Amino acid sequence: MIRIITYLVVTLFGISVSFAQVKSEEILIKNRTIELPGTLTFMEENTPLIIWVHGSGPVDRNGNQPAQNVKANYIKQFRDSINKENIAFFSYDKRTANKNNRALLKDTKITDFTVDVEKVISHFKNDNRFSEIILVGHSQGSLIAMMAAKNVDKYISIAGAGEQIDETIIKQISKNNPNLGIAARKQFDTLRVKGKIKTVHPFLMSIFGERNQPFLYDWMQLNPKTEIKKLHIPILIINGDKDIQVQIEDAKALHKANPTSELVIIKNMNHVLKDIQKEEDNIKSYYSSEFQISEQLIKTIVLFIKS
C-alpha cells in the first residue's frame, strides 16, 4: 500500500509540473561593450538553474548557426526538456553570434569567452530566485565552463575535449584524411614555435587563416586535464557514443584527471545531443530540428542535479 500511495503522489506531482506554465524572460547581460542577450525560462522559484556555455562557432541561444545553415535547435530542445523537470535554464547568444558585437571581435581570445560566462554567473548570483547554479559546457564550452566554474555549485561537461585543441583537431582531420592530418600537425608545430604561420596549406585555410591564428595560439596553451583538476565541486562528464567530433576517450581522460567526477556515456547520442538510430542521420541532424534530443541525456542530468 505504501508503494501505491508513493507512486500516486509522485505521479500527481509530475502532472502538476507538466501543467505548470513556463515563465520566460529576455535578459541582456553585458561584458563591457559586448552584448550577450539571452533567454531565461523556469516554472517555479527556488529551483536549480542551468547556465549553458556554447561550443565553437557563432552559436545562438537555441543552438543554431544560420550563416552555416546549422539548424539543429538542440539548445532549445534541451531547454524545453529540462524545464519540464522543474529546472530553470538560461542560454545566451554567444558574442560571435550577435551582430551588434561584430566590430569588437577582432582580438577575441578563448579566455574572453570565459569572462563572458563569469559575467552571466555574477548576474544570477545576485538573483535569489534560484537554489543553485549548474554550469553546463558543451564541446568548446566544456573547457570555457571549467575555467569559469569558481562560483557555481555543480559543473557538467558534454562532449568536451580531453586534450589540447591542436591534438583534437589533428585527430578529427586524420580520421578522414591521414595525409592532411600530418600537414595540420606541421602547421600547429609552426604556430606553437613562431606564434604565426606565413604559408597556410590551401586545404587548411578555414582552420589556419591569418585571423584565426591568434585565437588558436591562445587556445593551444590550455589543457582541459589541467583545468578540470582545479575543480572541487560535483562534476558530471558526458559523451555520446555516436559523437563523430569528440571521442569517448576524451571523456575518459577528463574523468581520469579528476576521479571524483561521474562519467556517463550516452548510447546513440551524437555531438549535437540528438538520438541517432541510423548512421546516415548523424550529419543530417546538424541541419534539421526534426531530430529529437536524447532522452537519456536529460534523465542523466536531472538525476545528477537532484541527487
Nearest Cα neighbor of 182 from 171, 168, 197 is: 171
Least confident of 20-24, 27-31, 200-204, 252-256: 20-24
Planar angle of CA 85, 138, 49, nearest 5 degrees: 35
Domains of the chain: 23-153+268-306 (3.40.50.1820), 165-221 (no CATH)
Mean pLDDT throughout 86-99?
98
- The structure's pTM equals 0.91
- Residue 4's pLDDT is what? 33
pLDDT per residue as tens digits for the range 128-167: 999 999 999 999 999 999 999 999 999 999 999 999 999 9
pLDDT per residue as tens digits for the range 208-240: 999 999 999 999 999 999 999 999 999 999 999
Whether pLDDT at 106 is above 50: yes
Block residue for cell numbers 550516452: 266
- Residue 67's pLDDT is what? 87
Q: Note whether 201 and 208 are within 8 A (CB).
A: yes
Mean pLDDT throughout 105-120?
96
C-alpha cell of residue 201: 596549406
The whole-angstrom separation of Cα 132 and Cα 154 is 8
Higher pLDDT, 302 or 7: 302
- Residue 251's pLDDT is what? 98
Mean pLDDT of the chain: 93
Planar angle of CA 257, 259, 260, nearest 5 degrees: 130
Query: Which pLDDT band, with edges at 50, 70 and 90, does 8 fall under?
Result: very low
Helices in 126-164 by DSSP H: which ranges?
140-148
Mean pLDDT throughout 175-201?
96
Order of strands across the sheet with 47-53? 23-31, 34-42, 88-92, 47-53, 130-138, 154-158, 235-240, 262-266
The whole-angstrom separation of Cα 158 and Cα 37 is 23
The whole-angstrom separation of Cα 282 and Cα 279 is 6
The whole-angstrom separation of Cα 216 and Cα 168 is 12
pLDDT per residue as tens digits for the range 12-69: 344 444 457 999 999 999 999 999 999 999 999 999 999 999 999 999 999 999 988 9
